[in-house]
Structure formats: structure tokens, C-alpha cells
């Protein structure tokens, strides 16, 4: 059996067959209690570009591994059929959160210097718990990322919190840093699963600059999910506001806020963390979620009778 901890699978997926890719795809989704339909297995198939009929034929010809089971329209690892009910419950919770996420995403998109607002995390794939946090990835204009973040926190996040809504704009990138993503399976999922609410042209720029993600998820790359009502809000008044904040005084505020927050976040970081901060990015991932997923996936694959070599 492959030693997944020492293999290059996380950074360079190369399953030996479509069957092996299906197993890995389901193992990854299982970490999030998320069974998949045949179409979703095809969309998130790890490391292999094939058409849907090929995947559908494999799943329905009786030659799937014994460690996979089917429950209705969903496939899961054997013994994990119960997550089908979990997915249904979370889908209902997500349906209630989406209008909130879209509404606040559009408010964020109207603020000065915001160039893209996208929903990420569990909600992006309808796998959210009731009253879950709503995660956003945001792209900002250069040299105003921290000023932009301050306005988002003051004018959107805090008012939402007073209404019991938790917004987490935990990843901000300036237009100069659109290629600043880790090259691994977890981040590839984050890129292809994000749902742009505004700035669709910026999302396409991210895809063009991060073509490496196509090696991981070739059937999903560059094809974001669309949410009914997604639209780029009007920005006429923003064009009048931004020049004021582009002044030397605005530059001073940007540098002051950047130093203040980076000093605070650096003190907050404890041990091994994925959080990172600079003038062009604010990655507030303090819980090392990607690393935890990596270790959990390796353990899961090691329990399955499958050798990637």
C-alpha cells in the first residue's frame, strides 16, 4: 500500500486509473460528510480528464470497488451511507443561507476598491450547517487592500454580526497577487468551488493565472457555479469615492492600517498556521484547515485497499 504521507499525491495527483480517481474523489468528499452524485464525481474527479458517460458507465457497470456504496442518487464509502441524510439537512440549511450570502456579498462589492466578491467554504457546495459562517474571498485594488478590509469590517461585518449573521471575509488578494495560491488539492478545490457574486472578469483572470489547478480538477476548472440573481452591482458612485481615497492621505491610512493589523495578526498566529499577511494579501486561515484536511485524507486513503502506483 502506498505511504500517502510521503507520496507527492497532494501536490501532483496521478491516479493510475479512472477507478482509482473515483475512489480518491469520494474519499476527499467523505472528509466533509459529503456524498456525491455521478455528475459531481465527474466534476470533482481528481487528476483525470474524462467525459461524464465514462464515469457514469464505471459507476453503473458493477465493477466499482467494494468499498463504495450507492444510496439513491449518491455514492459514498462503504459504511458511510448515513452522510446522505446529513447532506440533505445541510442542503436545507444552505438554501436559507444563500440569500443572505448574496445580499451581503453585493453590499461588499459596492464598497470602494472591491474588484471581486466570491463565496467559498462549505456554503459554496451547499454543505453548510444552520447559522454557519459565510466565507468570502475578495479581490481588491492594489495598495488599498487593508483600507478596503477595514471598510468591509466596519460597514458590513459588524452590522451583520449585530443581526446574528457571521460573515468571514477571511481571504483578500490585491490584483497584483492573483497567482498567490498554494499548489495543492485543497486549494484547487477552493478555486473551482468558489462562487463569484461580482467581478466575474476578475474570476476569469484568477483562472488564467492558476492553470495548475486544472491538473487537480480538470473537469471542474474554469466552470464556476452560478447562483440565480448573481449580478455585478452598479459602481457609479464608487468611481467618485475611490479617487478621494487614492490621495496621499488615503495612502497614509492604508499603511497605518496595514501595520496595525499585521502586527496584531502576527501576535495571534500560534505554531504552524496557514495564515499569511502582506501589502497584497490577507489570508486569515488561523486553524491550518488545509493541513488538517491533507492529513485526514492520507489516513483515509491508507485504510482503503488501493495502491496509487
* pLDDT attached to residue 260: 93
The lowest-confidence range among 31-35, 207-211, 302-306 is 302-306
SS (H, E, C) 206-228: HHHHCCCHHHHCCCCCCCCCCCC
Examine the pLDDT at 4 and tell me if it is beyond 50: no
273: helix, strand or coil: coil
Task: Please tell me the distance from the alpha carbon of residue 148 to that of residue 90, in angstroms, as a whole number.
Answer: 32
Buried residues in 22-57 as b, exposed as e (16+ CB within 10 A) = bbbbbbbbbebbbbbebebbbbbbbbbeeeeeebee
CA 68 – CA 78 distance, rounded (Å): 5
- The per-residue pLDDT for range 95-153, each reduced to its tens digit, is 999 999 999 999 999 999 999 999 999 999 999 999 899 999 999 999 999 999 999 99
Beta bridge partners of 120: 135
Asked if 191 and 220 count as a contact pair (C-beta separation under 8 A), the reply is: no
pLDDT of residue 269: 75
Least trusted range by pLDDT, from 8-17, 127-136, 154-163, 172-181: 8-17
Q: Which of 10, 19, 30, 54 is nearest to 219 (CA)?
A: 54
pTM score of the predicted model: 0.88
Question: Residues of the chain with pLDDT > 90: what percent?
Answer: 59
**pLDDT of 231 over the 70 cut:** no
pLDDT of residue 94: 96
Place of cell 488501493: 306
Domains of the chain by residue range: 88-284
Separation of alpha carbons 58 and 152, rounded Å: 47
How far apart are the C-alpha atoms of 190 and 7, rounded to whole Å? 22
Using pLDDT thresholds of 50, 70 and 90, give the confidence band for residue 1. very low
Cβ neighbors of 158 (< 8 A, separation 6 or more) are none
In the structure, what pLDDT confidence band is assigned to residue 309 with cuts at 50, 70 and 90?
very low
Percent of the chain with pLDDT over 70: 87
Q: Which has more confidence, 170 or 231?
A: 170
pLDDT for residue 253 is more than 60: yes
Which of the four pLDDT bands, split at 50, 70 and 90, describes residue 270?
low
CA count, 13 A, side-chain hemisphere, 1: 12
Determine phi and psi for 95, rounding to 5 degrees.
-60, -30
Query: Residue 259's pLDDT band (boundaries 50, 70, 90)?
Result: very high
Amino acid at each position: 500500500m502506498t505511504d500517502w504521507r510521503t507520496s507527492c499525491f497532494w501536490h501532483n495527483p496521478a491516479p493510475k486509473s479512472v477507478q482509482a480517481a473515483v475512489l480518491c474523489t469520494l474519499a476527499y468528499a467523505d472528509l466533509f460528510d459529503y456524498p456525491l452524485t455521478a455528475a459531481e464525481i465527474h466534476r470533482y474527479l481528481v487528476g483525470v480528464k474524462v467525459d461524464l458517460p465514462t464515469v457514469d458507465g464505471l459507476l453503473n457497470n458493477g465493477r466499482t470497488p467494494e468499498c463504495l456504496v450507492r444510496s439513491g442518487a449518491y455514492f459514498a464509502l462503504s459504511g458511510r451511507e448515513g452522510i446522505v441524510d446529513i447532506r440533505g439537512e445541510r442542503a436545507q440549511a444552505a438554501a436559507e443561507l444563500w440569500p443572505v450570502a448574496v445580499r451581503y456579498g453585493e453590499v461588499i462589492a459596492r464598497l470602494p476598491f472591491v474588484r471581486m466578491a466570491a463565496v467559498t467554504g462549505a456554503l459554496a457546495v451547499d454543505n453548510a450547517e444552520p447559522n454557519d459562517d459565510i466565507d468570502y474571498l475578495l479581490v481588491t485594488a492594489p495598495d488599498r487592500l487593508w483600507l478596503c478590509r477595514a471598510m468591509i469590517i466596519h460597514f458590513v461585518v459588524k452590522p451583520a454580526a449585530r443581526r446574528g449573521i457571521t460573515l468571514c471575509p477571511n481571504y483578500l488578494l490585491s490584483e497584483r497577487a492573483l497567482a498567490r495560491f498554494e499548489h495543492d488539492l485543497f486549494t484547487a478545490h477552493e478555486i473551482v468551488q468558489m462562487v463569484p457574486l461580482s467581478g466575474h472578469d476578475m474570476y476569469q483572470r484568477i483562472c488564467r493565472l492558476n492553470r495548475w489547478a486544472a491538473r487537480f480538477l480538470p473537469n471542474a476548472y474554469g466552470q464556476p457555479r452560478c447562483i440565480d440573481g448573481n449580478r455585478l452591482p452598479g459602481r457609479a458612485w464608487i468611481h467618485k469615492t475611490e479617487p478621494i481615497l487614492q490621495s496621499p492621505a488615503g495612502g497614509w491610512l492604508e499603511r497605518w492600517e496595514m501595520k496595525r493589523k499585521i502586527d496584531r495578526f502576527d501576535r495571534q498566529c500560534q505554531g504552524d498556521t496557514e495564515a499569511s499577511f502582506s501589502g497584497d494579501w490577507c489570508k486569515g486561515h488561523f486553524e491550518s484547515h488545509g493541513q488538517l484536511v491533507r492529513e485526514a485524507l492520507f489516513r483515509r486513503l491508507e485504510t482503503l485497499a488501493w495502491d496509487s502506483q
